[in-house]
Structure 1
Amino acid sequence: MIQIFPSEFMDKTPNKSQSSLLGIFINILLPVLILDYCSAGPANPLERPEGESFWHIGPVWSLVIALSLPLVYGIRSLAVSRKFDLMSGVGMAGVLLTGVISIFVIGPEGRIHSATPWLFAGKEALIPLILAAAVVVSRSTGTPLLNMFIYTTELFDVRRIEQTVAANGEEQAYQSLLANSSWILAGTLVASSVGNFFLSLSFMSSVIRQPEAEQQVAYNAAIGSITWWGFLIIGIPILAALVFIMTRLIKQLGRLTGLSRNELLLK
């Protein structure tokens, strides 16, 4: 999942919007291009036939480089910000799980284990499902995940909002609004989990049907397809849902506090 903000907030968060675009390029577009166009070539990275195109580095190196890009980007982001970012951590966890699965499912001569579709589909479904559970559980803690995804102190003037809510005697309605927003966010993540599962299962099942000599290249292409199509048919609707939750928050907070949108949001 990539953090993105609706256009009405872009002027308030230029650095975050630029970071989001860079994250899309490094975490999605570049790995997909590498997996799609560079996986041809010898399965053994030490062999290189005469006349092979220089960008055909083989399925092994293509997979290693494609997985390394988001991992290095996530580590760099953590080092620069000097604080743990949940989404960077989730992204790195996904990359590491893909690497671990790849080590175990790629057999001799590039043959892919028959259990790969179910393993990969389970991995793709697991992370958003864990996040959904964390969103629900964190409601009873001092740091609900809603505050990290949407209702952040970088966007909303939370202190002013809470002071106004208390002055208006609307604490119960305020907590109910945040709880409902958390449930909508959790439901969105559950829907993402289901979508990820079936998308991954479909692409990886086609790999197993390929001739054994072509399976590793097909496996790389399937990872690229899952990344790209997952962004298009799952990621974009999730971003739309996040924008809906944020817009709903602004509208309902305005009703509870009497504050305008400019007063609710930090300038």
Structure 2
Amino acid sequence: MDKTQSGSRSSLLGIFINILLPVLILDYCSAGPANPLERPSGESFWHIGPVWALVIALSLPLVYGIRSLVVTKKFDLMSGVGMAGVLLTGIISIFVIGPGGRIHGATPWLFAGKEALIPLILAAAVIVSRSTSAPLLNMFIYTPELFDVRRIEQAVASGGRERDYQRLLASSSWILAGTLVASSIGNFFLSLSFMSSVMRLPAEEQQVAYNVAIGSITWWGFLIIGVPILAALIFIMINLIRRLGKLTGLTRDEILLK
């Protein structure tokens, strides 16, 4: 199996474990009593209650991220971001779920702030890291696994185009940062909308609705925010390939690793 096939399977597995499976658990397993030992007769076996549904749904991406770290023996930024998001969701949930399942009135703003914070931090890190030896652009897009960076930089040096090369990387970093800022804004309003709807429900329905809202934020965030961001990243990559070709005189096959 080549690296492309392996990477594709790993990406699909990551989407399933980090997004699809937690959403399904939160949507379909949150019904039932908060205490599974109090299950009434006739209750469906998959209705494990809001507490255990939330615990299991949050544990899946956390365990997957830790397993990836142990197996690959290297830190993956996106896995780390995913684990940070899961931990923050867990911490917020501990403090906002009150007696009888009532959700604290500040929950929509706390959750919206959490969802907006991570991409905003990443955007700032992309800008700050531009002048360091390890810019985040190289981790997101301009990676040595995709681009023949050594050959590109040799061609740049031989043509005396170092300044133009740095300008190209800087502009790509700004586009990436802008994409992350747009994601932050989208995440904020999406989360605020779903969590605000939870607060309008009776107290006894709020905890189950809170779980469902987390699943909805995850799923719709992937569809209406994640997919456009992916398209933006593809645009940045295509733009990089095109402009690097003009800058270095290399062909597309020479720029990219096979």
TM range (shorter): over 0.9
Other-structure match for 1:123: 114
Other-structure match for 1:179: 170
Other-structure match for 2:79: 88
Identity of aligned residues (%): 84
1:156-175 equivalence runs, <5 A: 156-175=147-166
What SS does the corresponding residue of 1:13 show, helix, strand or coil? helix
Residues 185-231 of structure 1: CA deviation (Å, up to 9, x unaligned)? 00000000000000000000000001100000000000000000000
- The TM-score with structure 2 as length reference comes to 0.98
Paired AA for residue 242 in structure 1: L
CA distance in 2, matches of 1:80, 1:177: 35
- Counting matched residue pairs gives 257
CA distance in 2, matches of 1:141, 1:31: 37
What SS does the corresponding residue of 1:156 show, helix, strand or coil? coil
Check conservation: 1:45, 1:60, Cα contact below 8 A: no
Other-structure match for 2:238: 247
- The TM-score with structure 1 as length reference comes to 0.95
| Unpaired stretches in structure 1, ≥5 consecutive residues | 1-10
| Unpaired stretches in structure 2, ≥5 consecutive residues | none
Runs of 4+ in 1 over 3 A off after TM superposition: none
| Residue 47 of structure 1, CA deviation | 1.7
Other-structure match for 2:37: 46
Paired AA for residue 80 in structure 1: V
Residues 16-71 of structure 1: CA deviation (Å, up to 9, x unaligned)? 12111111100000000000000000012332111110000000010000000000
CA distance in 1, matches of 2:52, 2:250: 55
Mapped pair 1:13 → 2:14: no
Q: C-alpha root-mean-square deviation of aligned residues, in Å?
A: 0.9
Paired AA for residue 171 in structure 2: N
Other-structure match for 1:75: 66
| Residue 15 of structure 1, CA deviation | 1.6
1:29-44 equivalence runs, <5 A: 29-44=20-35
Paired AA for residue 201 in structure 1: L
CA distance in 1, matches of 2:81, 2:145: 21
